Structure 1
Amino acid sequence: MSKSIWAAIAAVALSLGALAVLAQGQGRVVAGQEAMLFGAKVSSWARLDSQGRVLEAGITLPMSAVEKAPLPGPGDKPQTEGGPDFGPEVILDFPEVVRKSTFLDHLQLWWEGFGHPPERYLTPHFDFHFFGIPKSEVAKIDCKDLTPPALELTPKGYAPAVPPGANAAEFCVPLMGFHGLPLSEFSAPGQLKPELFDYTLISGFYWGKYLFTEPMITREFLLKKQNLDLEVSHPAKVGRKTLYPTHFKATFDARANAYQLVYSDFKAGE
């Protein structure tokens, strides 16, 4: 039997094993999409209660994908924003029940081997963009609309995505939009902490709308198999009636040798 067939069998076994571990919790688990990331299978899923309501929506990230994430060599260069090769490594739709009843639509996973500016984030890390709009809409984010998000869209505990009076063009990223940072990322108003980060939870905007929630987590942090438990803050009024997650967890699952990145505690908002 060829090595490729053995690899495929191993990948299927790992995927089924991860679902089996998830199924041991309360509620029914519904599988979403799967994709390969650095030789490992990443998958989306949801956990539903007995009435079919979403309790959790998340992804399974095998540790092997974290371990094999390629670090840049001497001659390598980071992706050019908006360039022909600029894009995420993985895109995963959530199950239909999640897309229909909650804010979450799909995940776009970016591997930032070089990190990216500002200086605090110049360390290898993963950007997990959990979008509340379809992929087709994300593809239209071209940073031609530089209208800053209204200040009332700033979630509680966050700094404005575009500081008042700043040049909005300096803060917009194609295929993403504007990024709002938690106040905990700052050592003083307008001044990021000087040391490299471990993790943070970003709020994203474009077209004057709240579009995504984004955990950024370093490879170094994930390799230590540490857990995260963070509150998710979103604008009080977002112009859309749906269920919004209020908690995010990144939990290392020893039985599956994988991380479960999970949004939960969905609350009604508009």
Structure 2
Amino acid sequence: MKTMQASARPAAQAWLAVVVMAASPLLASAGDLSATYRGKPVPFGQGQAHTEVRTDAAGKAVAVSIVFSEQALAGLPGATMAPAYLLRMPAKGPRTVVDHVVINWEAVGHPPPKVYDVPHFDFHFYLVKRAETMKVHFNSDAESADPSQQPPTELLPAGYILPPGTAVPKMGVHAINPQAAEFQQPPFTATLIYGYHNKKQTFIEPMVSLAFLQSKPVFSAPVARPARYSKSGSYPAGYRVSYRPDSQSYEVALTELQ
């Protein structure tokens, strides 16, 4: 028995060395808290859509996304309907300033003419509760120019204005950048809008044309940031619209949260 134990010891030691070497990369990355948290998928077109929150190695949220399958662009309703798809945030993972997301499909676009009057999606990342947005009411779309809706200057990014004609019930008023590319040289592809109600920020809205999505883009751009925000937290310094060939899906993301 002693002889057998002695001969077995080197083999056991070698086996242990292999296990330790194999485990060391896992141990080295044990402190890496980077992850992707996914919200519950909902039907969208002939496909599905869900939210995602991505974290860095320290576990901090760095991006909030809407991800939808390629099939979502098929079977969308026509101009007689303007559906809104409600997406909840992931149940797990870090909280962000985004409370929920609503995708609005605009089959024939909306004003102003010759700018946003093409089929496109409005991706609303709401900073307030759903119940609050459902109470938003206007008597006219021109109310966006009313002094009661004009936010303090420090809540508007440089160059953005809040013109008449952008007040929408159950949403808010929409601030645009008249120097954005679509106002200089159409066609409109992708842009970013800020939303307000009663003088406070209530949503951040990338708008993306159907034609641009169908081109399967890999697009990113900086986000103009205001001097301050109505709600404390981390806000995007960039946004991204991209096609994921590996999963045949699209992503519209608010990135570089800081």
TM-score interval (norm. to shorter): 0.7 to 0.9
Decide which of 41, 44, 53 is 2:60's aligned counterpart: 53
Which sits farther off after the overlay, 217-226 or 90-99?
A: 90-99
Displaced runs of 4+ in structure 1, greater than 3 A? 76-79, 96-100, 192-196
Residue 97 of structure 1 and its aligned partner are, at CA, apart by 6.1
Distance 1:233 1:105 in 2: 21
105 and 180 in structure 1: CA distance in 2 versus 1, 3 angstrom threshold: same
Matched, 1:62 2:69: yes
Task: Name 1:180's counterpart in structure 2.
Answer: 175
Matched, 1:207 2:202: no
Q: How many percent of aligned residue pairs carry the same amino acid?
A: 26
Distance 2:93 2:175 in 1: 24
CA contact 1:60–1:258 (8 Å) conserved in 2: yes
Residue 211 of structure 1 and its aligned partner are, at CA, apart by 1.3
Distance 1:161 1:61 in 2: 30
Matched, 1:255 2:209: no
Residue 157 of structure 1 and its aligned partner are, at CA, apart by 3.4
Distance 1:171 1:63 in 2: 30
Residue 186 of structure 1 and its aligned partner are, at CA, apart by 7.2
Structure of greater Rg: 2
CA RMSD of aligned residues (A): 2.4
Matched, 1:105 2:99: yes
Task: Name 2:150's counterpart in structure 1.
Answer: 149
Aligned residues: 218
User: Which runs of 5 or more structure 2 residues have no equivalent in the other structure?
Assistant: 1-32
User: Which runs of 5 or more structure 1 residues have no equivalent in the other structure?
Assistant: 1-25, 80-86, 163-167
Normalized against structure 1, the TM-score is what?
0.73
Task: Name 2:131's counterpart in structure 1.
Answer: 136
CA contact 1:230–1:249 (8 Å) conserved in 2: yes
Distance 1:231 1:186 in 2: 13
What code does the residue aligned with 2:175 have? G
227 and 248 in structure 1: CA distance in 2 versus 1, 3 angstrom threshold: same
Residue 68 of structure 1 and its aligned partner are, at CA, apart by 3.2
Task: Name 2:120's counterpart in structure 1.
Answer: 125
More strand by share: 1
Which sits farther off after the overlay, 140-149 or 173-182?
A: 140-149
